[in-house]
């Protein structure tokens, strides 16, 4: 195993910047928020750790790219931010990809994110990806395909006898299609991929600073190692793009985990789009994450 470690000075600069205006902006944050974000470069922090690499197929090794610090994020002229007229995130179940989403994007949408059971391959030279996004168009997609335990034993070759054009409201093409069991681990993995892709749409590139939700992942084992939350550097980027108080965000996340869900619908293979089956929200796999959020709240409430 290889550990990617950055110096305290490097992490502090990546978070705060050397630009006087951005330093001033940081100093205007609530002192309690600064205390949490400063954990990025505090030696021995038990909230944020370094990135670990376990094989040559891990993302940073196989897809080298330049790191993005806060100053580079803030100065990106192509980065999109929500506005009063475009502040809704739509999640759309589809069987096609980004061009479909671009055409179906509502006027008030900041972004549209598609969910599909189709395995995703952005180009021939890559293996599969869990998701992909277009920063300029405000659209993204992620796939459940490899999250089920029986993915590799499922076969669909020969199911489609001839190509047919279907309307966008016709979901019959998905009848009897592979649907994984809605487990707690499936929900955790899906939340990671969905929020990772939406992070890209907000302008966050792959993180190479600390263990972080915005790390790239090249295979399921690496995706499972990736935490569900953002490192302080990426968290400052998102806070700058959206505007929120860190304490309010943490409280909202705990509330979501604790809330009893009785309205989680699922379309089953034998049901039409209108016949929805309600499932409980399985959150057993979120226990460790909730404990981590509670520790962050303790820092924010000192």
Structure token pair of residue 11: 């992490």
Question: Which among 33, 71, 197, 222 is annotated as catalytic?
Answer: 197
What span, in angstroms and rounded, lies between the C-alpha atoms of 59 and 226? 11
DSSP letter, residue 152: G
Told to judge if 8 belongs to the known catalytic residues of this protein, a careful annotator would answer no
pTM passes above 0.85: no
pLDDT tens sequence for the chain (302 residues): 899 999 999 999 999 999 999 999 999 999 999 999 999 999 999 999 999 999 888 888 888 899 999 999 999 988 888 888 888 887 765 544 555 556 667 778 888 887 776 666 655 665 565 666 666 677 777 777 677 666 656 555 555 566 667 665 665 655 655 566 777 888 888 889 888 888 988 999 999 999 999 998 878 788 889 999 999 999 999 999 999 999 999 999 999 998 865 444 444 444 444 444 455 677 888 999 999 999 999 999 88
Q: Which secondary-structure segment (H or E) carries 51? A: strand 51-53
Tokens 């470069």 identify what position? 41
Tokens 């860190």 identify what position? 246
Kindly write down the DSSP assignment for every residue of 174-239, as one continuous string: GTT-------HHHHHHHHHHHHHHHHHHTT-----SSS-TTS--SSHHHHHHS-SS--HHHHHHHH
Task: State the first-to-last Cα distance of the chain, in angstroms, to the nearest integer.
Answer: 36
Structure token pair of residue 64: 């080298």
């Amino acid at each position: 195993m290889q550990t990617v470690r950055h110096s305290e000075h490097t992490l502090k600069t990546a978070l705060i910047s050397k630009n006087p205006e951005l330093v001033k902006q940081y100093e205007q944050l609530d002192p309690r928020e600064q205390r949490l974000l400063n954990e990025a470069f505090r030696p021995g922090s038990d909230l944020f750790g370094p990135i670990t690499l376990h094989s040559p197929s891990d993302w940073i090794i196989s897809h080298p790219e330049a790191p993005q610090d806060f100053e580079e994020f803030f100065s990106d002229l192509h980065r999109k931010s929500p506005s009063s007229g475009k502040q809704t995130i739509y999640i759309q179940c589809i069987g096609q990809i980004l061009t479909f989403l671009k055409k179906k994007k509502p006027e008030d949408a900041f972004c549209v994110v598609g969910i599909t059971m189709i395995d995703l391959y952005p180009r021939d030279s890559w293996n599969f990806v869990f998701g992909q996004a277009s920063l300029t168009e405000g659209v993204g997609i992620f796939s459940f395909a490899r999250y089920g335990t029986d993915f590799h034993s499922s076969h669909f070759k020969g199911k489609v006898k001839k190509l047919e054009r279907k309307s966008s409201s016709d979901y019959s093409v998905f009848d009897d299609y592979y649907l994984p069991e809605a487990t707690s681990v499936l929900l955790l993995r899906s939340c990671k991929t969905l929020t990772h892709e939406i992070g890209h749409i907000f302008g966050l590139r792959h993180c190479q600073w600390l263990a972080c939700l915005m790390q790239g992942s090249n295979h399921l084992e690496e995706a499972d190692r990736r935490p569900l939350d953002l490192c302080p550097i990426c968290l400052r980027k998102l806070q700058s793009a959206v505007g929120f108080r860190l304490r309010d965000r943490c409280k909202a996340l705990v509330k979501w985990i604790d809330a009893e869900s009785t309205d989680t619908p699922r379309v089953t293979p034998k049901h039409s789009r209108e016949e929805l089956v309600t499932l409980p929200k399985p959150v057993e796999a979120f226990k460790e994450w909730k404990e981590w959020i509670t520790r962050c709240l303790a820092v924010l409430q000192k």
